[in-house]
Amino acid sequence: MSTFKAPKGTYDLLPPDSAKFLAVREAIAAPLRNSGYGYIETPGFENVELFARGVGESTDIVTKEMYVFETKGGDRLALRPETTAPVLRAVLEANLHKAGNLPVKVWYSGSQYRYERPQKGRYRHFSQVGAEAIGAEDPALDAELIILADQSYRALGLQNFRILLNSLGDQECRPVYRTALQDFLRGLDLDEETLRRAEINPLRVLDDKRPDVQKQLTGAPLLRDYLCDACKAYHEEVRELITAAGVVFEDDPKLVRGLDYYTRTTFEFVHDGLGSQSAVGGGGRYDGLSEMIGGPSLPSVGWALGVDRTVLALEAEGIELDIPSATSVYAVPLGEEARRILFAKVTELRKNGVAADFSYGGKGLKAAMKAANRSGARYALVLGERDLADGVVQLKDMESGEQSAIGVNEIVAELESRLG
Ligand code: HAM
């Protein structure tokens, strides 16, 4: 061990487990790529103001969880705690929304940073795959995103997840509800901090996890009963479209999210095998975000799924992903000349697209075959001195144990045909 450890709240992805993470990212990305979403990548840090204005000045993310720093040049930056605001910033900066093809549909994959209290499933560095559809107000777009997230989880084999759905209304109806909720909250027996929150961001109080608070909230007014006709009709259509697609969801009139930019459709994917950190993904519509960061009106919708928690969900359900072995052929040279010849063959195999590895470090036959086994390779190539003299190499099928001699010059063609 070195003097150093991974920082608190972080962990390293190491092989072979890291293959699971790649497979999860791929499983989430595949349906998006298949549905018109283009890949986007933005920097790991942004101007701190982007998040303050975008995610919301009074949110936990902005007030407590951001990694903020000042550069030597005097810029105030923050490691990204989320990627929706950065993606919208990038789209506006590049004028993608003016290219005449709305919505702009993009997906991303990458690290997020939040200074949270670490526990199982909650880290300070974690990874998301996300999708954003920018510049269109259409219930089918909200439905598309929910259906695609559901599809990726199904493709992974997950079953014990639920989709919670709500509408947070718009600029017309939410303020009316906000006032009603505030009036209600002021009459409760709440601690000072919660009362302060009720004044700044009353909807967040609904999300308070403490049982004594939840008990007092039983009779709280629900946004559902305050939605304007346009929001109601919009929400109804989203529900109909995902129902028609066979996606099962639960209406959760108390669902509020930890970010302030949401309007209308909001949803969360929760997994029942994860304990307290049960949200595996979340998202919704953010019709006002563009204007909040100085852009034009661009109604948009998106989600992000947590890769770390999705992997934990797979483990909770005992799902072993079918990850094919990375190596197909493992070459074992015995002696100097064999080493040169087999190394050249391995290089040739790789050029031809055959995944091949090599026994380095002058290992003897026994240790080298052990390594071949561990690599998961289907075939081993063993080249000894007698073989050299005969111009052949021993090709061993690691599954059946069968072994046969083939000509050194036939290696590539033979393995290509056997591996199909
Ligand atoms: P979020 O709900 O903050 O939404 O994060 C989405 C997912 O990221 C969570 O459901 C969870 O799986 C994962 N996650 C969040 N914090 C942590 C953590 N500390 N450790 C491990 N996993 C975590 C957003 O970030 C929005 N930008 C989603 C969105 C996209 N809305 C619209 N477009």
362 shares its domain with 250:
no
CATH number of the domain to which 343 belongs: 3.40.50.800
Tokens of 157: 């084999």
- Same structural domain for residues 236 and 97? yes
Both 244 and 375 in one domain: the answer is no
Query: Mutate which of 259, 278, 289 to test ligand 1's pocket (most atoms within 8 Å of Cβ)?
Result: 259
CA-wise closest residue to 145 among 195, 106, 89: 106
Is 266 within the bounds of a domain?
yes
Residues with CB under 6 A from ligand 1: 82-84, 114, 116, 122-123, 126, 128, 130, 132, 258-259, 279-284, 286, 302-304, 306, 308-309
Q: Based on the domain organization, do 47 and 139 belong to the same domain?
A: yes
Q: Does 67 belong to an annotated binding site?
A: no
For residue 104, the model assigns a pLDDT of 98
244 and 381 share one domain:
no
58 burial via Cβ count (<10 Å: 0-12, 13-18, 19+): middle
Looking at the fold, whether 290 and 391 belong to one and the same domain comes out as no
Q: Does residue 297 sit in the same domain as residue 348?
A: no
pTM score of the predicted model? 0.95
Read off the pLDDT of residues 77-132 as tens digits, 9 standing for 90 and up: 999 999 999 999 999 999 999 998 999 999 999 999 999 999 999 999 999 999 99
Domain of 150? 18-173+227-316
pLDDT for the residue 152: 98
Is 274 found in the same domain as 357? Answer: no
For the stretch 254-296, pLDDT in tens is 898 889 999 999 999 999 999 999 999 999 999 999 999 999 9
287 and 394 assigned to the same domain? no
Pick the last residue of a domain from 286, 316, 346. Answer: 316
Shared-domain flag, residues 292 and 339: no
Q: SS3 letters for 337-390?
A: HHHHHHHHHHHHHHHCCCCEEECCCCCCHHHHHHHHHHHCCCEEEEECHHHHHH
Please give the full DSSP string across 88-109, using - where no structure is assigned. Answer: HHHHHHTTGGGSS-PSEEEEEE
Structure tokens at 273: 């095998």
Which residue, 72, 71, 62, is CA-closest to 113? 62
What is the number of domains present in the chain? 2
Cα 218 to ligand 1 centre (Å):
27
The three-class DSSP label of residue 332 is strand
Q: Are residues 275 and 297 in the same domain?
A: yes
